[in-house]
Amino acid sequence: MTAADLIIRPATVDDVRATSFAHSEMLPMGLFPALGVRFLRQWHKTVLAAPHGVLLVAVDRADGAYGGFLLGSTDHLTHTDALLRAWRSFFALALTGAVALLRNPSLAAEFARTRAVRWTRRIARAFVRSSRTAHGGSPQTAVLAGVAVFPGFRERGVGAALVNEFLKQCATDGAEVAELITDLQNENAARFYELLDWVPAGDSVTRDGNPIRLYRYFLNGGGTLPYRDRQ
């Protein structure tokens, strides 16, 4: 089986159980996966409902089996601010996260130490400014939050097909640049993105002490395809 045997399509709420479980199993780095599958399921639903949110799935044309998924946004600042202002979905997400933290005191202590103040300020800013001014004159930036290929579908171009579809959506939505972060300990991920023309843009360390690398992909915007897809 190759990527040609799969359909890349926008996910629906019915797909979220599969994508959130795969996220937990295959993309464990960071706070959100640490909060558990129930939180990830709520997060994926929230992304689906918010403007500029992207959740793609790759499914087998023959039997509908899942081959992979991709999560991201085509305008990260506007997407995040809209998510924070959608009080019902944000409250559901926050409540699910709070329950997960209460069940894991060590994770709750780490959250309070490394993220609580920053997130509180971020939420407060979202309620006192418009999404239009959130950019502050900076380029519209898309963010690829995660992509994973299910066992049995790897080494067949599925991940590349998901990323390429995401970049096309970013260009159509007017993004000028896309960004993602990889774990520096995962050399395969770095090699994968560099083969797809993503450019390393700096190394740093997360609040949890994990070494990471920022990658960027420059788009030509204006609703056309990424540069490398033009003939």
Coarse DSSP helix, strand, coil percentages of the chain, rounded to the nearest 5 percent: 50, 25, 30
Q: Smallest Cα–Cα separation from 146: which of 5, 38, 25, 50?
A: 25
* 5-53 pLDDT per residue, tens: 889 999 999 999 999 999 999 998 888 899 999 999 999 999 999 999 9
Residue 66 — φ and ψ, nearest 5°? Answer: -75, 135
Q: What is the dihedral of CA 150, 151, 156, 157, to 10 degrees?
A: 30
pLDDT of residue 41: 95
* 143-183 pLDDT per residue, tens: 999 999 998 898 889 999 999 999 999 999 999 999 999 98
Structure tokens at 209: 């002490």
pLDDT of residue 137: 63
DSSP string for 22-88: HHHHH---SHHHHT-HHHHHHHHHHHHHSTTEEEEEEEETTT--EEEEEEEESSHHHHHHHHHH-HH
Are 59 and 6 in contact by the 8 Å Cβ rule? The answer is yes
Query: Residue 110: pLDDT band by 50, 70, 90 thresholds?
Result: confident
Instruction: Using the CB atoms, write b or e for 185-200: b if 16+ within 10 Å.
Output: eeeebbebbeebebee
- pLDDT of 229 > 70? The answer is no
Whole-number Å distance between alpha carbons of 128 and 131: 10
* 56-81 pLDDT per residue, tens: 999 998 888 999 999 999 999 999 88
- pLDDT of 141 > 70? The answer is yes
- pLDDT of 133 > 70? The answer is no
Structure tokens at 151: 């066992």
β-bridge pairing 53-60 and 141-149: unpaired
- pLDDT of 129 > 60? The answer is no
DSSP state of 15: G
Structure tokens at 199: 């450019």
Query: What's the number of CA atoms in the CB half-sphere (13 Å) around residue 123?
Result: 12
pLDDT of residue 207: 74
pLDDT of residue 132: 45
Average pLDDT over residues 94-107: 89
The CATH superfamily of 3-229 is Gcn5-related N-acetyltransferase (GNAT) (3.40.630.30)
